[in-house]
Amino acid sequence: MDMEGKVLGNRYEIIEKIGSGGMATVYKAKCRVLNRNVAIKILKDEFANDAEFIKRFQVEAQSAASLSHQNIVSIFDVGKDDSMHYIVMELIEGKTLKEIIVEKGKIPWKDAVKIAAQIASGLNKAHNHHIVHRDIKPHNIIITKDGVAKVTDFGIAKAVSNSTINAFGSTIGSVHYFSPEHARGGYTDEKSDIYSLGVVLYEMCTGKLPFDAETPVSVALKHLQEQPEAPKSINSEIPDALNLIILKAMQKEAANRYASAKAFYDDLTKLLKNPDDVTLLKDVNLSSAEFPTQRIPVVGINNTQDKTEKIDVKNTIEQDDDEMGRKKRVTKKQAIVRLLIFLLIAVVLFFSCVYLGTMISEKILGSNTTVEMIKIEGYSQEEAERMLAEIGLTMNVTGYVTHPDYPLPGYVTYQERSEGYRLKKGDTVDVRISKGGAKVIVPDVSQLSSTVAAKMQIEKNGDLVYVEAYEYHDVIVSGDIIRQEPKANDEVDSGSEVTVYISKGPASGESGLVVVPEVEGRTEAEAREILDKAKLIARVTYTKSPTKADGIVLSQTPEANEYQTELAEVVLVVNRLSDNGSGDVNNGENEGPSTGNNEGTPSTPAEAKREVKIDLSTVGAIGKFNVKVVLEGNTVGKRVEYNQEHTREDGMIIVYVTDVKNAMVKVYINDEVVSEKTLK
């Protein structure tokens, strides 16, 4: 079906098709309401016509939409247009992790660990909200152009696996990443995601899957019965600690895996700081004695092959027949012996052919026509060229790359032909040359309003390390950023520390530090009294939220338990439903007279207010979302005038902001600007 140009839900205009999977076709579209590009997944007919699946899918998608994390692809909307069911998601420019693995074969272990740590961080967020992915695999992980890993399809996998559609028949690729409990059709939980992430990390580091076979059923049985080959035996470059981390995540018994995605993340980040620290998993004993081959009972795994043939795995395994088990073990042993004999013969024949070919070549063309390749990796470009010239070969540089083992520029990091390979004199050998350690531009965090935001900005790509330091300051209030080292826009080596100096307030004097009390949920009068006792000044702004109690403080900035200097402002957002306020709302101290049908009035007579209307019924987010109104200007700096959670059912709300000429008013929905206006 040609979808380009069609409009779904009278809102999303289809631009082009960008992908297709087993469950849905993905399109790039434009949201006409918010004027932004999004990705839309339109479910295929076999899903769209299953009423039970659609019901379950909508529940799961709405649950997943509540997640907000930098490593999770956001779900904006779920809808239906005629018979088409669709999901509106964040549009990510990048490649799937599977595409990257196919292109590169394997990924440098440090990069693989950084990606896995980001995925673990996203999983931790989901697990804390009691959401289990159930289909973690490289196909469901998108790597942006900036190197950020984004996990997609949260909650959707559960709807698929619980539907009447056979799991193996519809997700052939997924079975390679199934946990043992998933493969046997048992109960799956957060630790199932940890096992799947372990498989993904295994594949990134080795370039191959731990278990593979001709049919999905055979792969599932290997997850149940066999132990994976140690990743370090495939790729000797990975550290011992990483080898142990992967094997711990892939334990057959869920109780032996990481207790949580957070624990998995912690070990990965420790590994990046100290790759030689094998004490990370000192409590894990991975000796073969602890992993005897076991026959594990399989509970009702059904497989659909060619969409017609169903195989009952339980009927293919005669586990209670001791005689059959003995015959199978003998047959397997015989097969291994035969395979070893075959490989030995093949190796002998191969080297015999190479030797005979070399001898014939030298007899016909002369003994000086071929040379044996030498090792030039690790040598400088000039030295490598000289060494090759001495044996009659030339060097061709195919590219300049960053390499963790060669931080200095000008060294050979890769040679096309390995040591011992025979070449004809005059042949060219392709090489890659190091261009030095990767450099990173330090972001500017000095103007950010919170240390949490500063930490996220510095560690966004995993190339810099955030460090906090504290100093007394007579002017800058406690908790605000004084400066940063290195400075913004400096070029530093990847992995460098960026120290953020945070104010502790004045070192002495009467205007010292105070702890901001908790006043959310109190009446305005109570909040003012509490702040006054804490030697803080209340600055009140009003909103109208029919779903909340009248006269109650909905939010405060700064939040409770933060340190501030005495007499610092605390912005209170108070709900006012009545036109003239109430006893709790208007204490007669800092408010002007009632203004008729206005929902809010200035907090002081000298501070005029401007009305800002926000229609929440058109917001694309599902469930609760954050609404923030920020005032920016030369005279007021940057300050939050309103910060509160809402739903689309709240409809039109009115927020009053301080009327400052030429200041900019920005409205944010979930930290994304949806409108801005200059006050005239």
Structural Rg of the chain based on CA atoms = 32
Relative to beta strand 569-575, strand 537-543 is parallel
In degrees, rounded to 5, the angle at the alpha carbon of residue 576 between the alpha carbons of residues 649 and 555 is 75
The sign of the dihedral angle between the CA atoms of 189, 169, 3, 79 is negative
Cα distance between residue 57 and residue 159, in whole Å: 5
CA nearest neighbour of 162 among 193, 184, 134: 134
CB atoms inside a 10 Å sphere around CB 70? 14
636-674 burial: b if 16+ Cβ within 10 Å, else e: eeebbbbbbebebebeebbbbbbebeebebbbbbbeeeb
Q: Is 135 a catalytic residue?
A: yes
Cα distance between residue 194 and residue 134, in whole Å: 10
Single out the catalytic residue among 2, 45, 135, 659: 135
Cα distance between residue 662 and residue 4, in whole Å: 42
Residues with Cβ < 8 Å from 417, sequence gap 6 or more? 373, 423, 429
CA nearest neighbour of 654 among 539, 549, 518, 545: 545
Q: What ranges in 366-424 are assigned the alpha helix state H?
A: 381-390
Task: Answer yes or no: are the C-beta atoms of 585 and 544 closer than 8 Å.
Answer: no
The CA-atom distances, in angstroms, between 391 and each of 352, 360, 377, 424, 487 are 25, 21, 16, 10, 50
Task: Answer yes or no: are the C-beta atoms of 527 and 519 closer than 8 Å.
Answer: yes
Please count the residues of the chain.
680
Cα distance between residue 87 and residue 108, in whole Å: 34
Q: How far is CA 283 from the centre of its chain?
A: 28
- Residues labelled catalytic: 135
